[in-house]
Structure 1
Amino acid sequence: MRKNERLKGKTVAITGSSGGLGEQIAYRCAARGANLVLLARNLKKLKQMAKNIREKYGVDCLPLNLDLSRHEDIPAVFRDIFEQVGHIDVLVNNAGYGIFAEAKDVTPADVEGMFAVNVVGMIVCTKEVIPSMRRRKNGHIINISSQAGKLATPKSSVYSATKHAVLGYTNSLRMELAGDDVFVTAVNPGPMATNFFELADPSGNYVKNIGRHILSTERVSEQVVDAMLKKRREINLPGWMNVGSILYTLFPSLVERLGKKAFFKK
């Protein structure tokens, strides 16, 4: 089956879809004939995106406000989705953010905020789609994690902790749903060219230090969309960074010693 045919007429819901990777995923899905549910806090931007997508690709596109830190509101949003579109074939848990700071400087509000969005919000959204996917014996849950979930580095202790949690949850969920023909994929990109670093690193030092290694959202989104409704365990980008993560699993002390200088480039 050609990749365009696989997504044609399917419904893809994407959190954090008002910009960056989520926005790129949305447009690529629409280009392949998928109907979309766009979820983010910036409803004005989502409505404009939905208008553009409908006009350009002729697919259905439902924009809805969703603040992942407001966990009590999430079930009502998904009830609205199911009432309007019937079911979700692919859920992309993309929303998330990070703050780079030494552990001694991270505030309790920063910790609570990152875990509320990156972990708890993602889990609550996933919980809402599991029953219908299980009933239909079909579906795909894609969780955007990070290479930081595999290889923690200085000044990202809390962000890395949230992404470790995302990977732990994703790996457990994959096994739980395997018998129901529901696919679960973790996406682990390295640094991407998005507005993520405007909050994570306001100084701009990190982007300046690793500029040539930053991934484009176009490249990552292409791989994510290509994997939809396929049995794919993980997507790891870039390859050389994932090699580092694998080596870290095997030889943690050696990697920490040899990579110390590079790790402190934030």
Structure 2
Amino acid sequence: MDLTDKVVLVTGGSGGLGEEICYEAAKKGAIVIVCARRINLIGKVKEQCEELSGKAAYAFQLDVAQPESVSSMLEKVQNEVGSVDVLVNNAGFGIFSDFVSFDMQKAYQMFEVNVLGMMVLTQQIALGMLEAGKPGTIVNIASMAGKMATPKTAVYSATKFAVLGFSNALRLELKPAGIHVMTVNPGPIATNFFEQADPSGNYLANLGNMVLEPDVLAKAIIKGVQKSKREINRPRVMAAASQLYNLFPKVGDWLAGGIFNQK
């Protein structure tokens, strides 16, 4: 896909990986729509996208957990921009904690944001793509935690396993219409995600060079969109470990509970 003049909508675009995806799409000449709850930050990202692309960009407040917020945002997109060519479902959060002491209200919130809200938005965008009758791409940011769960990620991993299952089925459903679905499974990324997931900071510190840089991953994601990749898995050492997990579950449990358990 040539992204020149294509409309790319990114959720969770106010910072971290989402912000970098916006910039990479803009560099390719896309018309970027930045969406996030933090309205005080998305304007800055919008302006930077306009500088990079030389084209108009847009910023709309969005809380994916609220269906009425999704509807309001999509109405603005339809009126001010038009149909979406690429949707990047990046919004999400995690909390790393033992399940037996987990706040179940937070579990409900995590599913509302990471899974249900993402589904609501994706359904509406997919319907728009079908009505437009032109090729499109949906990118769902899942996680390595959706392929290989580790201690203290019971709820977060459950949401990401759900994202992967949803994406794999959706890919088959939409393929005949020329709409491609790509999943991205990153390990830990050096973003403010961990301010909530692991306030101690120990997890990122213990992982060393396995921690991903958001700008590097964003480049790989946009390249994957252009080449219609099925899946992106980073870092590669964790991708290899997840494959080993499927082939040798007992060894996988040992790895997940040992080398890759740094929480």
Whether the aligned pair in 2 keeps the contact of 1:154 and 1:263 (CA below 8 Å) is: no
1:86 Cα offset (Å)? 1.1
Corresponding residue for 1:77? 73
Name the SS of the counterpart of 1:262 in structure 2. coil
Where does 1:202-217 land on structure 2 (aligned, <5 Å)?
202-217=199-214
Corresponding residue for 2:55? 59
The amino acid across from 1:79 in the alignment is E
2:109 to 95, 105, 113: 113
Q: TM-score, normalised by structure 2?
A: 0.96
2:120 to 117, 124, 128: 124
Name the SS of the counterpart of 1:99 in structure 2. coil
Query: Which blocks of at least 5 consecutive residues in structure 2 are unaligned?
Result: none
Name the SS of the counterpart of 1:203 in structure 2. coil
Of residues 46-55 and 132-141 in structure 1, the stretch that sits farther from structure 2 once superposed is 46-55
1:52 Cα offset (Å)? 2.7
Question: Does 1:264 find its partner at 2:261?
Answer: yes
1:181 Cα offset (Å)? 0.5
Corresponding residue for 2:174? 177
Whether the aligned pair in 1 keeps the contact of 2:242 and 2:252 (CA below 8 Å) is: no
Name the SS of the counterpart of 1:152 in structure 2. coil
Alignment coverage as a number of residue pairs:
262
Corresponding residue for 1:17? 13
Whether the aligned pair in 2 keeps the contact of 1:183 and 1:230 (CA below 8 Å) is: no
Corresponding residue for 1:68? 64
The amino acid across from 2:84 in the alignment is I
Question: Does 1:192 find its partner at 2:189?
Answer: yes
Separation (CA, whole Å) in 1 of partners of 2:30 and 2:255: 46
Corresponding residue for 1:34? 30
Separation (CA, whole Å) in 2 of partners of 1:210 and 1:91: 31
Whether the aligned pair in 2 keeps the contact of 1:139 and 1:229 (CA below 8 Å) is: no
**Cα deviations by residue, 1:157-191 (Å, 9 ceiling, x for unpaired):** 00000000000000010000010010000000111
Separation (CA, whole Å) in 1 of partners of 2:62 and 2:4: 25
Q: TM-score, normalised by structure 1?
A: 0.95
Separation (CA, whole Å) in 2 of partners of 1:201 and 1:35: 35
Question: Does 1:218 find its partner at 2:208?
Answer: no
- Pair 181,208 (structure 1): closer, same or farther in 2 beyond 3 Å: same
1:112 Cα offset (Å)? 0.7
**Cα deviations by residue, 1:83-106 (Å, 9 ceiling, x for unpaired):** 111110000000111000001111
Corresponding residue for 2:135? 138
Whether the aligned pair in 2 keeps the contact of 1:133 and 1:139 (CA below 8 Å) is: yes
Separation (CA, whole Å) in 1 of partners of 2:230 and 2:78: 27
The amino acid across from 1:244 in the alignment is A
Separation (CA, whole Å) in 2 of partners of 1:259 and 1:166: 20
Of residues 244-253 and 144-153 in structure 1, the stretch that sits farther from structure 2 once superposed is 244-253
Whether the aligned pair in 2 keeps the contact of 1:140 and 1:229 (CA below 8 Å) is: no
Separation (CA, whole Å) in 2 of partners of 1:192 and 1:55: 26
The amino acid across from 1:152 in the alignment is A
Name the SS of the counterpart of 2:116 in structure 1. helix
Separation (CA, whole Å) in 1 of partners of 2:168 and 2:128: 20
Measured on the aligned residues, the alpha-carbon RMSD in Å equals 1.3
Whether the aligned pair in 2 keeps the contact of 1:183 and 1:229 (CA below 8 Å) is: no
1:70 Cα offset (Å)? 1.3
1:56 Cα offset (Å)? 4.2
Query: Which blocks of at least 5 consecutive residues in structure 1 are unaligned?
Result: none
Of residues 129-138 and 211-220 in structure 1, the stretch that sits farther from structure 2 once superposed is 129-138
Structure 1 runs, 4 residues or longer, greater than 3 Å off: none
Separation (CA, whole Å) in 2 of partners of 1:29 and 1:255: 36
Percent identity for Structure 1 against Structure 2? 43
Corresponding residue for 2:84? 88
Corresponding residue for 2:227? 230
- Pair 28,254 (structure 1): closer, same or farther in 2 beyond 3 Å: same
Whether the aligned pair in 1 keeps the contact of 2:188 and 2:212 (CA below 8 Å) is: yes
